[in-house]
């Protein structure tokens, strides 16, 4: 079968299954199976694919139609221009989270010590280390399975970082110039309303922020002064409607220069502050 025919098969199958962005997902899966590019598919749509490629593509389309996330099928997700391995044990890196990384990079200086809480795949920490010089990075997560993914990513990228298994600061020692986190922040009552791909296939522990979604913010903000150097900064990713609440928590805890940064859609996305 030809490229163009396989693409039409995949797109139509995903559309029938009600998958959002069916054509995009069908194309990305085909590109991955055939180890090719969008341009190549467009220019050489009449090129035949192998039987092995056709079989794998059909299997992947079936998985995607059953709401398995695209990234769990391919095993990778791009973030900050870098490729990260992902699986069902970590939250899939989102473009929104790049705002946090970009904000930290604006202030990051050579040799800084960085602590990433709820590190998951390690995408935040490893991106910061990749785009900086001589920084020291530590990632903490309560999940050993998530840390295995983070370590794999660090090894693949040739980045040195330490990873600790514990509940937030449980195993953390010393003080840091920057503490960053994208903690679970979805209110428990909102979990059933999430897309099936997220609700059923991403780790609940990386999503559920307890009753009001602020549980982990209260803990991080309350405990982090013991782990920040004087003049150190805390950066937190937030949900679109949590800016005011998290800003207030940080101000009440004694942080200075607290600000809310919006994402490219104009929604509140990051709250940051400095500890003196």
List residues forming the annotated binding site for substrate. Answer: 182-185
Pair of tokens at residue 220:
């991080």
Positive or negative CA dihedral for 227, 231, 233, 234? Answer: positive
Residues contributing to the annotated binding site for S-adenosyl-L-methionine: 141, 182
Residues contributing to the annotated binding site: 141, 182-185
CB-CB contact of 235 with 103 (8 Å): yes
> Which residues on neighbouring strands pair with residue 260, listed in sequence order?
271
Positive or negative CA dihedral for 146, 85, 239, 200? Answer: negative
Rounded Cα distance, 10 and 47, in Å: 16
Q: What b/e readout covers 250-265, taking b as 16+ CB neighbours within 10 angstroms? A: beebebeebebbebee
CB-CB contact of 275 with 234 (8 Å): yes
Pair of tokens at residue 198:
């997220």
């Amino acid at each position: 079968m030809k490229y163009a025919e396989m693409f039409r098969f995949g797109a139509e199958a995903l559309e029938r299954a009600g998958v959002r962005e069916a054509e995009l997902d069908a194309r990305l899966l085909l590109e991955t199976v055939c180890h090719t590019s969008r341009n190549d598919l467009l220019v050489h749509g009449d090129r035949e694919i192998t039987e092995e490629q056709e079989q794998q593509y059909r299997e992947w389309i079936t998985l995607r139609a059953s709401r398995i996330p695209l990234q769990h099928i391919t095993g990778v997700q791009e973030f900050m221009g870098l490729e990260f391995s992902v699986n069902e044990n970590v939250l899939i890196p989102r473009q929104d989270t790049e705002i946090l990384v970009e904000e930290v990079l604006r202030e990051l200086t050579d040799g800084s010590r960085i602590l990433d809480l709820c590190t998951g795949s390690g995408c935040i920490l490893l991106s910061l280390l990749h785009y900086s010089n001589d920084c020291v990075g530590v990632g903490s997560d309560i999940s050993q399975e998530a840390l295995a993914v983070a370590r794999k990513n660090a090894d693949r990228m040739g980045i040195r970082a330490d990873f600790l298994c514990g509940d937030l600061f449980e195993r953390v020692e010393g003080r840091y110039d920057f503490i960053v986190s994208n903690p679970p922040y979805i209110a428990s009552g909102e979990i059933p309303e999430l897309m099936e791909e997220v609700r059923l296939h991403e780790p609940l522990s990386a999503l559920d922020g307890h009753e009001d979604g602020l549980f982990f913010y209260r803990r991080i903000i309350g405990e982090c002064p013991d782990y920040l150097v004087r003049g150190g900064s805390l950066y937190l990713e937030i949900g679109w409607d949590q800016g005011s609440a998290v800003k207030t928590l940080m101000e009440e805890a004694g942080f200075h220069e607290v600000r809310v940064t919006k994402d490219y859609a104009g929604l509140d996305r990051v709250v940051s502050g400095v500890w003196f």
